Amino acid sequence: MRIAYLDRTVHETDGEPKPNGDVSAISKSIDLQGSVETGDKTTIASKDFGGLYSIKPLALIKPAGSDDISRAIKAASRIPRMTVAARGNGHSINGQAMTNGGLVIDMRSTEENHFRLLNINGSFFIDVSGGALWENVLTRCVSRFGLAPRSWTDYLSLTVGGTLSNAGVSGQAFRYGPQISNVTELEIVTGKGDITVCSETRNPELFFGSLGGLGQFGIITRARVKLQPAPDMVRWIRVVYTEFDEFTRDAEFLVSRDDGESFDYVEGFVFCNNDDPVNGWPAVPLDPVHGFNPGIIPQTGASVLYCLEVAFHYQKGDHPSTVDKAVAGLLKRLRFVEGLKSQVDLSYVEFLLRVKRAEEQAKANGIWDAPHPWLNLFISKSNIVDFDQTVFKKMVKDGIGGPMLIYPLMRSKWDNRTSVALPDSEIFYLVALLRFVSRGPSVEESVAQNREIVEWCIKEGLDFKLYLPHYQSKEGWKRHFGDQWTRFVERKASFDPMAILAPGQNIFKRTHLS
Ligand code: FAD
C-alpha cells in the first residue's frame, strides 16, 4: 500500500514545529506490504494506558515486517521535521509511544513474524518479533517446547519491544536480571532505515543503547530471548509484616541468596491497616476463602502494613511432602506475623498470567479504562526507610486506589552498558504506585501527589531514578542519566534518533534522519 495518504499539511497544535512539507511526492514512490491508516483510524495511537494525554499522529503505519518499517523511516526522513514513534501495545503512561503529527509504527501488526526456536551450544533461545505480546511468547513456548523465558513483567499484555525499551522487571529479576539482561541479539531498523542485527559482539553500541533505550535508537523488530525449562506448577504465597525493617530484612535476605536456596519469585506490597476493600486487608488473601484475620495484627501495627509475596516452582511429579518441606524450610527463616499467611497452588502459566485475570475483572467493573497516573521509581536501599516513613506512612497512608508495590532488586544482575539509569547501590527497590483513579484520588490529585513525591525525593537528595522515565526538560533528563548522559546522547546521535518520548519533550526528537 502506498503512503500517499500522507499527502496533507500538518498544523501546529501544541506550539512545536510540525512537518509541513508536501509528502505525497516522496510517499508515492513507496510501496508497503502492510497498510497506512489515517483520520479516525489512528485514534488508538493517540492515547495510551495512562489516559493522561491525547496526541494525534499524522498516520498509523501497520507494517508487515522490517522492510516496511525501513521504507517508512526512509520516507519520513525526506519530510522536514517528521517524527516517528514505535508503538508496542500502548501501555505507557505518559505518551511515550505517541508522536504529534508524526508517524506511529504499530508493531502489533508484526506479531507473527520470527517465531523460531534455536539451540546454541546446548542452550535454548527463541527469536520473536518486537511486536509480539509476552503472553503469546509464554503460551507458545510452554505448549510447544516446554520452555519459557526466565525474566518477566507482572503483566504480559506488553510487547517484547516495549519492555526491552524500558527494562522489564518482576519478581524473577533478582535472580536473572531484568528482561534486558535476558536477550542476546536484536534486529533493529535504525533511524536511517538500515535493518541491522546487533549483539554483545556485533554492533554492541546499538545493542546496548537500544536495551532500555526508550525507543530512541531504532525500532526493535526481532529479539533473541534466553529460555529455560518451564516448571509445571507454582506455589504462590503471601505473608504479612507490621514492621518495615523486618519486611525489608527478609526480602533482602531472599534476593541475596544463591540459586536453589531461595524462592523463585520475590515481590511485595504495602497495604492499609483497615478493611477498605481495595487498599486494605481484603487485598491480601490469595484465596478469598482464607480471609484475613485482623485480630492477629499486633497492637504495634501502624497505618500501613507490608506483604511479602513469594513463589516456589515445582513439577507435577514432585511428591507433595517434598514441596511442603522445601517451602517450610524457606519460610521458617522469615519473621512475618504468624497466622497471616495465604497460599495457592496453580500452574506456571496461570501464575504468570495472574494480572490478566485482574484485568478481566477490572474491565468488567469499568475501571480498567479509567486514567492511570502511575509512578514507578527505583530507590536505593540506603533511602528506603526514609521513603517508607514519609511516603508510605504519611503521604499515601490512606491508599491510592490500586497496588503499592515494593521489592528489592540486585544491581549486579543488570548490565551497565545498557541505557537504563539505576541508583548506585547494589540493592535497590522497585516502588510502583499503581493508581486506578476511579477507586482513589482524582487524576489531578494523583498527578499532584506523584509530583510531590518526586520533588521530595529530589529535595532530600535520595539516590533514586524514575522507571519508565519521562521529563519535560533537558535538565530533568540530564539529572536522570547523570554520568551516562553523554554516552546516551552520543550513541543516539550515531543511530539517528527518530522517536519522541512524550509531549513537549522535543530534546529527543529526531532533528534529521538522512
Ligand atoms: P508502548 O507503551 O507501546 O511503548 C513503550 C516505549 O517503547 C515507547 O517509547 C515506544 O516508542 C517504545 N517501543 C515500543 N515498541 C518498540 C520497538 N519494537 N522498538 C523500539 N521501541 C519500541 N513494566 C515492568 O517492567 N514490569 C511490570 O511488571 C510491569 N507491569 C505493567 C503492568 C501494566 C498493567 C502496565 C500498563 C504496564 C506495566 N509495566 C511493567 C510497564 C511496561 O513495561 C511499559 O509501559 C512498556 O513500555 C509497555 O509495553 P508496550 O508494548 O505497551 O509499549
Q: Locate 255 and state its grid cell.
A: 534476593
Q: From the CB of 495, is ligand 1 less than 6 Å away?
A: no
Q: Residues near 185 by Cβ (< 8 Å), separated by ≥ 6?
A: 197, 198, 199, 202, 207, 222, 223, 224
From the CA of 131, give the closest atom in ligand 1: 18
Please give the distance, rounded to the nearest whole angstrom, from the Cα atom of residue 250 to the centre of ligand 1.
30
- Tell me what percent of the chain is helix, strand and coil, each rounded to the nearest 5: 35, 20, 45
Q: What is the pLDDT of residues 71-106, one digit of tens each?
A: 999 888 888 778 889 999 999 999 999 988 889 999
CATH of domain 20-108+495-505: 3.30.43.10
Q: Locate 367 and state its grid cell.
A: 475501571
Domain with residues 233-466, CATH architecture: 3-Layer(aba) Sandwich (3.40)
Distance CA 348, CA 146 (A): 11
Q: Residues near 505 by Cβ (< 8 Å), separated by ≥ 6?
A: 470, 471, 472, 477
Write down the pTM of the prediction. Answer: 0.93
From the CA of 170, give the closest atom in ligand 1: 28
Distance CA 490, CA 3 (A): 32
Q: How many CA atoms lie within 13 A of 225 on its CB side?
A: 34
Q: From the CB of 102, is ligand 1 less than 6 Å away?
A: no
Residue 213 pLDDT exceeds 80 = yes
pLDDT of 499: 64
| Residue 91 is among the residues annotated as catalytic for this protein | yes
| Mean pLDDT of the region 32-60 | 92
Count CB neighbours of 341 within 10 A.
Answer: 17
Residue 22 pLDDT exceeds 70 = no
Ligand 1 atom 8 nearest Cα: 97
Decide if domain 115-229 falls under CATH 3.30.465.10: yes
Q: Domain residues of the chain, as ranges?
A: 20-108+495-505, 115-229, 233-466
Q: What is the pLDDT of residues 336-354, one digit of tens each?
A: 999 899 999 999 999 999 9
Site to probe by mutation for ligand 1, drawn from 94, 106, 158, 508 as the one with most ligand atoms within 8 Å of Cβ, is 158
Q: What is the pLDDT of residues 432-459, one digit of tens each?
A: 999 988 777 889 999 999 999 999 999 9
Same fold yes or no, 20-108+495-505 and 233-466: no
pLDDT of 26: 43
pLDDT of 30: 67
pLDDT band at 29 (very low <50, low <70, confident <90, very high): low
Q: Residues near 476 by Cβ (< 8 Å), separated by ≥ 6?
A: none
> Rounded to an integer, what is the distance from CA 216 to the centroid of its chain?
16
The closest of 346, 66, 320 to 190, measured between CA atoms, is 66
Q: Locate 145 and state its grid cell.
A: 517446547
Catalytic residue from among 154, 359, 445, 463 = 154
In the chain, how many H helices and how many E strands? 14, 18
pLDDT of 508: 59
Residue 149 pLDDT exceeds 50 = yes
Phi, psi (deg, nearest 5) at residue 509: -70, 150
In this structure, the chain runs to a length of 514
Q: What is the pLDDT of residues 456-508, one digit of tens each?
A: 999 999 999 999 998 878 888 889 999 999 999 888 888 876 665 555 555 55
The closest of 37, 38, 20 to 79, measured between CA atoms, is 20
pLDDT of 509: 57
* Alpha-helical regions (H) of 332-468: 348-352, 354-364, 384-387, 443-459
As to burial, measured by CB atoms within 10 angstroms (0-12 exposed, 13-18 middle, 19+ buried), residue 217 is: buried
**Phi-psi category of residue 384: left, alpha or beta, with phi > 0 → left and psi -120 to 50 → alpha:** alpha
Please give the distance, rounded to the nearest whole angstrom, from the Cα atom of residue 26 to the centre of ligand 1.
32
Site to probe by mutation for ligand 1, drawn from 166, 375, 495 as the one with most ligand atoms within 8 Å of Cβ, is 166
Q: From the CB of 171, is ligand 1 less than 6 Å away?
A: no
Q: What is the dihedral of CA 254, 258, 259, 262, to 10 degrees?
A: -30
pLDDT of 360: 93
Q: What is the pLDDT of residues 289-324, one digit of tens each?
A: 778 888 888 876 689 999 999 999 999 999 999 999
pLDDT of 476: 87
pLDDT of 288: 76
Please give the distance, rounded to the nearest whole angstrom, from the Cα atom of residue 168 to the centre of ligand 1.
8
pLDDT of 174: 98
Q: From the CB of 159, is ligand 1 less than 6 Å away?
A: yes
Alpha-carbon distances, residue 428 vs 63, 243, 252, 262, 469 (angstroms)? 39, 19, 10, 18, 17
Q: Residues near 280 by Cβ (< 8 Å), separated by ≥ 6?
A: 271, 272, 273, 274, 399
Average pLDDT of the chain, as a whole number: 89
Residue 43 pLDDT exceeds 80 = yes
Judge contact between 352 and 142, C-beta under 8 A.
no
Q: From the CB of 163, is ligand 1 less than 6 Å away?
A: yes
Stretch (H or E) spanning 221 = strand 219-229
Q: From the CB of 469, is ligand 1 less than 6 Å away?
A: no
Distance CA 255, CA 266 (A): 7
pLDDT of 379: 98
Residue 237 pLDDT exceeds 50 = yes
pLDDT band at 234 (very low <50, low <70, confident <90, very high): very high
Q: What is the pLDDT of residues 177-197, one digit of tens each?
A: 999 999 999 999 998 899 999
SS3 265: strand
From the CA of 154, give the closest atom in ligand 1: 28
| Residue 276 is among the residues annotated as catalytic for this protein | no
Residue 4 pLDDT exceeds 70 = no
Distance CA 260, CA 345 (A): 19
Please give the distance, rounded to the nearest whole angstrom, from the Cα atom of residue 88 to the centre of ligand 1.
7
Residue 265 pLDDT exceeds 80 = yes
Q: Are strands 265-272 and 183-189 parallel, antiparallel or unpaired?
A: unpaired
Which of 21-25, 242-246, 365-369, 510-514 shows the highest mean pLDDT? 242-246
Phi, psi (deg, nearest 5) at residue 16: -95, 145
Alpha-carbon distances, residue 86 vs 54, 308, 475 (angstroms)? 16, 36, 25
Please give the distance, rounded to the nearest whole angstrom, from the Cα atom of residue 157 to the centre of ligand 1.
9
Q: From the CB of 103, is ligand 1 less than 6 Å away?
A: no
